[in-house]
Structure 1
């Protein structure tokens, strides 16, 4: 199994975009390299979520009931989520590849963080199709908050605790030069090229076509191109700072909360090696209403830094340096995080409220001035 590439093994018939096309043979071919002890005997598609239903942004999902062949371990869940490409015309392969690699390689070893159970996955670079088989978190009573939800400070701390565990585990890891060398950064790799070559055009289309986005950018006294340059300056600067494994897309809508108080993260498509404040800022800024964020973000950052060191990152930067990086990271959330996002992905209210929280924090922290200081 150690010789299986991070992208998994593509079945002989390729990876379809239609959930109804996944039969037991195809699912077993995807699972086999990672869990040879698991074999599906029967599968039924209960439901599917596609683009435009307010739940699908970059990938579609199908909810499966499965029966396993004799000999499969009893603790393997019978209810699965099949995550797959949105459509053959929506070409965002670097994101799909990233998530497959996380679940195939990193998820089995990060047993001290909360993320979905996986039976493995595969990515086909020829078609940019992918498939991931994950446990259905609703079986564990998970709640899936978004920016409209009332999130408590204890719930934010629970997510920060999980991030601290992840970040400490891979803090300055020598494995980045070895078996984890496939992990990309914000400045180098297929994902970085995608963000540089494709995303700015898509963002400018959003600014030009959505009145509220155009006026929101104008209210910040900036432009799409200036925000793009700010993100580039941020990432070049943070390439010189300590790196760890990031989730990469920690807005509150990519989290889940369990009845026992634990919290986890979904949608690992933007996982990279990078600066830890990227994850921390994006979470806090999107999770809390503006007034609560203003009143509590310093204390929440201090809590995270304490937990990061407690979990082993003894040489992590102190509060003052972290605070500046935290404030700089807002440019990514404003530009990449939500200016990319079409209203159809999540609906009007979720989209606008994320923008409102992020752009207000951008102004509160004078992020533009902090970025100019990097020149």
Structure 2
């Protein structure tokens, strides 16, 4: 089956076919599109989303959600296929075995011909969720809650032997469709951003580097960290891919870059994008200590030392600078969100001599 790229394509027939494909009965009688964000709305990066109100057929269970979120392929090209396939794999194959805070999925399907996804998720606002970005303050307590979620996820798969058996399908930063896209297709898009956006070329110049050198640095760090502790990563933990719940609990959205890798990839990117520069400088070491404490509490007895982890925390910043945001056009999130993420990441890159740490592993 194929999937729509606009909210208008979400019909009762479409949802019933999608639910039937995943083994559920056809129960949808009517739908109303409550809201939609698609590519070009300045709050969409790799996939759009629609909020849909649903009426069910008589006799349907009372506990079925009346509002759902449907993710939509961008529809502008097929380059995002590896991302969509990866996210559908997370929700279809892993979500049910996890106890972390992440959206519940009602249906998930990927079409390898059209490179589109069909993904139906719970409406998190029903549980009081809010969705932060860099334009809004986040408290240290809220950030600790997000780190708690990461620690539980990472502990669950810490150096797991399953990566050689039933989880061998999980991609790495070095191999798989997403890795191929990042290493072979994305660099041309990133160089276009550097060449066409003056503030990006100035930031790269301020770092004393080039797009090609940053790419080589990212690849060197990924090869290096592939030989260290491995776990399941969210893979794209900038603040805009999180949500906050009452009681300082936090969850993770948008699993398109899920990957097996080193935990500091997730932790470094989250802390650095979540906090204003001055706050990050004051709190990052204590926040890393908090994460390590929660990792041990979740059952990891072989965690590296703080200093070893902090070194990899600093080294991992090169990914956030290059892949995380140089690749992101203004149309995805708007001018201010784009610029602030760049400033936070490039400043941390300088603060931590990430260039020198990258050179150590080239």
TM value normalised by structure 1? 0.93
Equivalent of 2:306, from 319, 344, 365? 319
Say if 1:365 and 1:183 are closer, same or farther in 2 by CA, change over 3 A.
same
Q: Provide the C-alpha distance between the structure 1 equivalents of 2:186 and 2:204, rounded to a whole number of angstroms.
A: 17
Q: Once the 2 structures are TM-superposed, how far is the Cα of residue 210 of structure 1 from its aligned partner? A: 0.3
| Number of equivalences | 362
Equivalent of 2:9, from 21, 25, 33? 21
Q: Which residue of 1 aligns with 2:129?
A: 142
Say if 1:312 and 1:37 are closer, same or farther in 2 by CA, change over 3 A.
farther
- Once the two structures are superposed, the pairs formed by residues 80-159 of structure 1 within 5 Å of their partners are 80-110=68-98, 112-159=99-146
Q: Is the 8 A contact 2:78 2:115 kept in 1?
A: no
Q: Provide the C-alpha distance between the structure 1 equivalents of 2:14 and 2:166, rounded to a whole number of angstroms.
A: 28
Q: Which residue of 1 aligns with 2:56?
A: 68
Q: Is the 8 A contact 1:38 1:68 kept in 2?
A: no
| Deviation larger for 64-73 or 146-155 | 64-73
Q: Is the 8 A contact 2:78 2:114 kept in 1?
A: no
| 1:43-66, Cα deviation, whole Å (9 max, x unpaired) | 222222112212111111111011
Q: Provide the C-alpha distance between the structure 2 equivalents of 1:38 and 1:248, rounded to a whole number of angstroms.
A: 34
Q: Which residue of 2 aligns with 1:256?
A: 243
Q: Provide the C-alpha distance between the structure 2 equivalents of 1:176 and 1:124, rounded to a whole number of angstroms.
A: 25
Matched, 1:288 2:278: no
- Once the two structures are superposed, the pairs formed by residues 186-201 of structure 1 within 5 Å of their partners are 186-201=173-188
Say if 1:42 and 1:179 are closer, same or farther in 2 by CA, change over 3 A.
farther
Say which SS state the counterpart of residue 42 (structure 2) adopts.
Answer: coil
Q: Provide the C-alpha distance between the structure 2 equivalents of 1:293 and 1:321, rounded to a whole number of angstroms.
A: 19
- Once the two structures are superposed, the pairs formed by residues 258-277 of structure 1 within 5 Å of their partners are 258-277=245-264
Q: Provide the C-alpha distance between the structure 2 equivalents of 1:130 and 1:213, rounded to a whole number of angstroms.
A: 32
Q: Which residue of 2 aligns with 1:3?
A: none
| 1:187-243, Cα deviation, whole Å (9 max, x unpaired) | 001110011111000000000000000011000000000000000001001111121
Q: Is the 8 A contact 1:47 1:64 kept in 2?
A: yes
Say if 1:181 and 1:22 are closer, same or farther in 2 by CA, change over 3 A.
same
Say which SS state the counterpart of residue 51 (structure 1) adopts.
Answer: coil
Say which SS state the counterpart of residue 107 (structure 1) adopts.
Answer: helix
| 1:236-288, Cα deviation, whole Å (9 max, x unpaired) | 01111121110001001111111232111111110001110000000000001
Say which SS state the counterpart of residue 108 (structure 1) adopts.
Answer: helix
- Once the two structures are superposed, the pairs formed by residues 203-214 of structure 1 within 5 Å of their partners are 203-214=190-201
Q: Provide the C-alpha distance between the structure 2 equivalents of 1:17 and 1:88, rounded to a whole number of angstroms.
A: 9
Q: Provide the C-alpha distance between the structure 2 equivalents of 1:311 and 1:132, rounded to a whole number of angstroms.
A: 30
Matched, 1:49 2:20: no
Matched, 1:184 2:181: no
Q: Once the 2 structures are TM-superposed, how far is the Cα of residue 344 of structure 1 from its aligned partner? A: 1.0
Say if 1:34 and 1:109 are closer, same or farther in 2 by CA, change over 3 A.
farther
Q: Provide the C-alpha distance between the structure 2 equivalents of 1:183 and 1:359, rounded to a whole number of angstroms.
A: 30
| Deviation larger for 119-128 or 152-161 | 119-128
Q: Is the 8 A contact 2:16 2:25 kept in 1?
A: no
Say which SS state the counterpart of residue 161 (structure 1) adopts.
Answer: helix
Equivalent of 2:189, from 202, 207, 210? 202
| 1:63-105, Cα deviation, whole Å (9 max, x unpaired) | 1011233554433321001101011425210111111111111
Q: Which residue of 2 aligns with 1:4?
A: none
